Amino acid sequence: MGGLTVMRALKARLPGENLLYLGDTARLPYGTKSADTVTRYAVQAAKALIARDIKMLVVACNTASSVALPILETAFAPLPVIGVIGPGASAAVAATDDGPIAVIATEGTVKGGAYVRAIQALSPRMPVVQQAAPLLVPLAEEGLISGEIARLAVERYLTPLLATVPRPKVLVLGCTHFPALKQTIAAVAGSDVTLVDSAETTAKAVEQALKSAGLLNVGSGGVAQFLATDAPDRFANVGETFLGSPIDPGSVEVVDL
């Protein structure tokens, strides 16, 4: 579901592109599953999309990007494959000279250490601190993105993380669900902490990659299509929170991976 925040950013930045979104609603969440399971699911989802003649694959999930991206890139070459972690890491490093950089993400992304590796590949001495924030995922899916419940949950995760000495200067929203809670997270973090939204940074990376490959559709008029593996009504209802616009349940095609 959270990948719809990436789709929202893609629609805003690339209005001429046709977008095909697959939400694996039958098997979510990915963030608490093993790396092997997430990789298997990601490959299956990629095959279903590639069968529909796509020109680029965007892995709009931090957990899947953290464990499956190299396998997807190899298995489906020369198809361009872009994950959300690399663009997020680049934006985080660009936002500070000395850090620390803080990351909130799912359990799977934090345990895998993908952001630490990606950030320190760009800036080897950059200190990185992480915090798994699993409760924020169901809160976002229930639409509880503001108010006291959301604030208390965000404070639970950010208070110890931002108490690190020295205090982090950048906070990476390392789960595609988290941009839905961006205003609450910003209020708790304070104005001295720069937020890095993986959805926005990924959309920029997609635009650059399409331009470089001569694949960019300019102008407007792009069409969005939605696929889900279960419960299209719930997908449409919950998805509106992340996409920022209504989704017609009747337009959601159910597919079996």
Active site residues per annotation: 61, 175
H-assigned helices in the chain: 3-13, 35-50, 62-75, 85-94, 107-112, 114-122, 136-141, 148-162, 182-189, 198-213, 232-243
- Measured CA to CA in angstroms, residue 255 lies from 44, 45, 59, 230 at distances of 11, 10, 18, 8
Give φ, ψ of 76 to 5 degrees.
Answer: -115, 15
| DSSP state for residue 120 in the 8-state scheme | H
Among 54, 230, 201, CA closest to 115: 201
How many angstroms separate the CA atoms of 12 and 184, rounded?
22
